[in-house]
Amino acid sequence: AYQRREDIDKYAHVATMQEIEDNGFNLNIPRYVDTFEPEEEIDLNEVAAEIRKLQSKIKDIDAELKPYFDELGLDFPFDVEGK
């Protein structure tokens, strides 16, 4: 881009002297090259549903592990009251 003096979207821009002057002779790249890319939208309802599903799986696994801890005489580090 530099040697060919070409504009490449989100990478390079050939600024005119007028553009540079209009920007107060500030040569900061973001004044000339927009590299912004919008973030992917997150469906919070979907995330909350996934968290609930995972929490349920964790409770099931904890309930499955607790008897082994009891058998070994160890304190089980997690609460399995809800099961």
Domain that holds residue 74: 40-83
Which pLDDT score is estimated for 80? Answer: 74
Cβ distance 14 to 2 under 8 Å? no
Could you give phi then psi for residue 8, rounded to 5 degrees?
Answer: -130, 120
In the predicted structure, residue 82 carries a pLDDT above the cut 70 = no
More confident residue, 73 or 2: 73
**What pLDDT digit, counting tens, does each position of 33-77 carry?**
988 889 999 999 999 999 999 999 999 999 999 999 999 999 999
Q: Are residues 14 and 52 in the same domain?
A: no
Residues 14 and 53 in one domain: no
83 and 51 in a common domain: yes
pTM for this prediction: 0.50
Alpha carbon of 79 to those of 4, 50, 66, 72: distances in Å?
Answer: 65, 21, 10, 18
Bigger pLDDT: 66 or 1?
66
Mean pLDDT of 15-24: 95
- Do 23 and 53 reside in the same domain of the chain? no
| Same domain as 82, residue 44 | yes
Query: Which residues, in sequence order, are bridge partners of residue 38?
Result: none
User: Domains in the chain: how many in total?
Assistant: 2
Q: Residue 54 to residues 1, 47, 51, 58, 80: CA-CA distances in angstroms?
A: 48, 11, 5, 6, 15
Beta partners for 8? 12
